Amino acid sequence: MYYYDPYGFRSFAQDQLIANIARAVNGQYTAIACYERLANMAPNQEEKEQILEIRNDEIRHFRTFSQIYASLTGRQPSYQIVEQCPSEYRAGLLFAFKDEQKTADFYQDIAEQASHPYIKEQFRRASADEQNHAVWFLYFLTGR
Ligand SMILES: [Fe+2]
Ligand SMILES: [Fe+2]
């Protein structure tokens, strides 16, 4: 997969897409760090394992998006934490729930914005994963 345009004829729309993918990469990077912290605060083994399973999805998204970014730009993305996650468990769950909901929407937007079928498909799938994660966090918040 090589979409890199070495001659610099990249359009404004393409630049927007790349900026959004960079934001998605950093969001995933942040979620990976947050969920490790959250898993360590979980009140029981079952919940801890589910959060770690969610974290594995985020690692997969992170790798896929980084690879897409590299194929579009010809370079690796830079990684940075974009938001601090709460240090208290319940606040962390609420933060995660809202973030997953927002992220599901954001990835739908990227899927629509992208013209390449592979990129569309990866963001659609990731969006469905985030929706599923949101349901888990909501369950942890309310289901006990
Ligand atoms: Fe994700
Ligand atoms: Fe997620």
CATH number at residue 53: 1.20.1260.10
For residues 63-81, average pLDDT: 95
Residue 54: pLDDT band by 50, 70, 90 thresholds? very high
Segments forming the whole domain that contains residue 19: 12-142
Instruction: Flag whether 6 is in a domain.
Output: no
Write down the pLDDT at residue 73.
95
Does 1 have pLDDT greater than 60? Answer: no
For residues 123-135, average pLDDT: 98
Selected residue with higher pLDDT from 102 and 143 = 102
What share of the chain has pLDDT > 90, as a percent? 85
Which residues sit with Cβ closer than 5 angstroms to ligand 1, an ion?
58, 61
Does 62 have pLDDT greater than 80? Answer: yes
CA distance linking residue 106 with residue 119, whole number of Å: 14
Instruction: Flag whether 2 is in a domain.
Output: no
CA of 129 to the centre of ligand 2 (A): 6
Instruction: Flag whether 84 is in a domain.
Output: yes
CA distance linking residue 87 with residue 72, whole number of Å: 36
CA of 89 to the centre of ligand 2 (A): 17
* Count of domains for the chain: 1
Beta carbons of 137 and 93 less than 8 angstroms apart? yes
CA of 43 to the centre of ligand 1 (A): 23
CA of 18 to the centre of ligand 1 (A): 17
Instruction: Flag whether 129 is in a domain.
Output: yes
Beta carbons of 70 and 93 less than 8 angstroms apart? no
Instruction: Flag whether 4 is in a domain.
Output: no
Least confident residue range of 2-11, 65-74, 83-92 = 2-11
Give the global pTM: 0.91
Instruction: Flag whether 36 is in a domain.
Output: yes
Instruction: Flag whether 5 is in a domain.
Output: no
CA distance linking residue 137 with residue 47, whole number of Å: 10
Residue 8 Cα distances to 14, 19, 23, angstroms? 11, 16, 21
Mean pLDDT across the chain: 93
Instruction: Flag whether 54 is in a domain.
Output: yes
Size of the chain in residues: 144
For residues 59-68, average pLDDT: 98
Does 140 have pLDDT greater than 90? Answer: yes
Beta carbons of 84 and 33 less than 8 angstroms apart? no
